[in-house]
Amino acid sequence: MVAQDDGRRVESGMTIRGLSKTFGDVVALKGIDCTIERGSFVSIVGPSGCGKSTLLRILAGLLDASHGSVTLDGQPVNGTRRDVGFVFQSSILLPWRTILQNVMLPAEVLGLDLKAARERAMQLLHMVRLDGFEDKLPRQLSGGMQQRASIARALLHDPKILLMDEPFGALDALTRERMNLELQRIWSESGKTVILITHSIPEAIFLGDKVLVMTPRPGTIERELRVDLPRPRTMHSMAEPEFGRIADEIRDLFSHTGSFD
């Protein structure tokens, strides 16, 4: 599938059609349709309990959909895949392993060539600015540094798409701002497709090429908003009129449903 983006033809990376998920009598997701262009950064926001994390786990193949389909480069996502990376809400680094050993974990699990994987791990640690920390234990790093290590780990096996489930939610405001800038840089340098779940409206707009706004449960895509702000973005981008317009539109959507958070 090919999507039109600002006059350019862009090959679609992930396509979601008619996606629904039920847990017993509870309808968590209903009729989700969207296309994630390859190499794009897509943010997803919505009220608590709307099924954002459930959606992300289905896209990762960690959960089965009840109805509908998910394809990545035209191939169905049925179960976990090697070409999908996942970053969780916490870094989930093994405390007894060094940072390098933690980043190397996917190579061991997937049976990759360890020498080549170590070289890639060191390159990724350089990209996330953890040079010199490869022999440290997780407890010796700050929360932001731990999350950067988890991003490097998720990229080790060179996935086509990186899924991120509120990775900065536990960080303080200043660290979170720095991590937003770092993530923008990492995304730009890696060329990966990224889908980010967040509760932060400013974070969603700052990082996203587009923002998908979800409804309360049963979750569906209420609106898809393009973010036409130049890159690379800085914290000053948040003062742009377009930034404020998109933020107001998202807040209005939440207010009208009585689900603002």
Residues paired with 250 in a beta bridge: none
Kindly give the pairing relationship between strand 161-165 and strand 193-197: parallel
Over residues 121-176, the pLDDT tens digits come to 999 999 999 999 999 999 999 999 999 999 999 999 999 999 999 999 889 999 99
Please write the tens of the pLDDT for every residue from 60-103. 999 999 999 999 998 999 888 889 999 998 999 999 999 999 99
Mean pLDDT of 115-126: 96
**Strand, coil or helix: 150:** helix
Q: What is the mean pLDDT of the chain?
A: 91
Which tens digits make up the pLDDT trace of 37-57? 999 999 999 998 999 999 999
pLDDT of residue 102: 97
In sequence order, what are the beta bridge partners of 226?
Answer: 210
Give this prediction's pTM.
0.91
Give Cβ neighbours of residue 52 (< 8 Å, ≥ 6 apart): 44, 45, 46, 165, 197, 214, 219
Residue 65 near residue 22 (C-beta atoms within 8 A)? no
Query: Residues 184-204, buried b or exposed e (16+ Cβ, 10 A)?
Result: bebbeebebbbbbbbebbbbb
The SS3 call for residue 39 is: coil
Bridge partner list, 198: none
